[in-house]
C-alpha cells in the first residue's frame, strides 16, 4: 500500500515493487483507496480471463459432470440432505 504522494515522488519504486512481487500496489489518498498498480503480466492475465465463470467454463464443467455420472462416479441427489450420506 502506498500513498498517492509516494507515487508522485517515487513512482519508479512503486512500479518496480509491483513488477517484482507480482502483487498489486494499492494507492491511497486521505486513507481511502484510489487506484491499483499492476505489473503487465498480471494485467494481461486479468484482461484475458475477465470472467473465469463464463459460459464456456460452465459448459465444460457440465460436460465433465455428465461424463463422471455416466461412468458411475457420481449420483443424482434427490435433496440437499443426500449430501450427508
pLDDT digits (tens, 9 = 90+) for 44-75: 888 886 666 677 878 888 898 888 888 887 76
Over residues 9-26, the pLDDT tens digits come to 999 999 999 999 998 999
How far apart CA 38 and CA 6 sit, in angstroms, is 16
| Model confidence at 43: pLDDT above 60 | yes
Question: Does pTM surpass 0.85?
Answer: no
What pLDDT does residue 10 have? 92
Interatomic CA distance for residues 75 and 69, integer angstroms: 6
Among residues 25, 43, 45, 44, the alpha carbon closest in space to that of 35 is found at 25
Tell me the helix, strand and coil percentages in the chain, rounded to 5. 55, 15, 30
Terminal-to-terminal C-alpha distance of the chain: 47
Ordered by where they begin, the domains of the chain are: 2-70 (3.40.1620.10)
Amino acid at each position: 500500500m502506498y500513498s498517492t504522494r509516494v507515487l508522485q515522488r517515487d513512482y519508479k519504486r512503486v512500479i518496480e515493487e509491483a513488477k517484482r512481487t507480482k502483487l498489486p500496489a494499492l494507492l491511497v489518498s486521505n486513507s481511502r483507496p484510489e487506484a491499483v498498480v499492476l505489473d503487465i503480466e498480471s494485467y494481461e492475465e486479468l484482461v484475458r480471463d475477465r470472467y473465469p465463470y463464463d459460459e464456456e467454463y460452465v459448459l465444460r464443467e457440465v460436460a465433465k459432470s455428465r461424463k463422471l455420472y455416466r461412468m458411475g462416479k457420481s449420483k443424482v441427489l434427490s435433496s440437499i440432505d443426500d449430501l450427508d450420506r
